[in-house]
Amino acid sequence: MHTLKKTAVAVMMVTGLFSAQQVFAKNVKVTMTAMEVDLAVNNKGDAKMAAWTFDGSIPGKPVRVDEGDTVDFTLINPPENKNSHAMDFHAAQVDVLNEFGEIKPGQTKHFKFEAKVPGVFMYHCGASTMAQHIAKGMYGMIIVDPKDKRIIQKQTVNIC
């Protein structure tokens, strides 16, 4: 009987740990707008480049979440744009043909994914031709912080 109680307590503790992970995970809403704009490429602002961006900046804004969080993502491609755009989050483990599919001007794309692996990952437009979209500015970083913050260690660099 004593062993049965110990087993029951152990099962309850393990169940509690898994439940606690779900409680601490967040739903992080991220919305980006594909913007085809002319950006200044010099300090005077008189030299401009035709850029394709996420929210008007190169690179796009950093996205930071914790391992286990759900990223609730929306991409807006305004009707005034001339090109199809997409989002490819390298931190996502999803059906890439569906979730990362191109959307035409005037359309919106929405998908969710769980940030399962800690690290720093690129995101970029995955519309054809992908290299052109990245070269014109449609890229950024998503940082997935580990659940166990103790594994992050400070590193020092010695400069001679």
Residue 1 has pLDDT above 60, yes or no: no
**Averaged pLDDT, 12-17:** 57
Confidence at residue 100, expressed as pLDDT on a 0 to 100 scale: 80
Of 18 and 144, which is predicted with more confidence? 144
DSSP letter string, 81-144: --S-B--EETT--S-HHHHT--B-TTEEEEEEEE--S-EEEEEE--SSSHHHHHHTT-EEEEEE
Q: How much of the chain exceeds pLDDT 70, in percent?
A: 78
**Averaged pLDDT, 84-93:** 94
pLDDT, one tens digit per residue, over 115-156 is 999 999 999 999 999 999 999 999 999 999 998 876 555 544
CA distance 67 to 19: 15
Confidence at residue 138, expressed as pLDDT on a 0 to 100 scale: 98
- Please tell me the total number of residues recorded for the chain in this structure: 160
- CA 11 to each of CA 6, 18, 100, 142: distance values in angstroms, whole numbers, following the listed order: 9, 11, 40, 36
3-state SS, residue 17: helix
Residue 7 has pLDDT above 80, yes or no: no
**Averaged pLDDT, 42-71:** 95
Of 78 and 6, which is predicted with more confidence? 78
Query: What domains lie within the chain, and their CATH numbers?
Result: 25-147 (2.60.40.420)
Residue 48 has pLDDT above 90, yes or no: yes
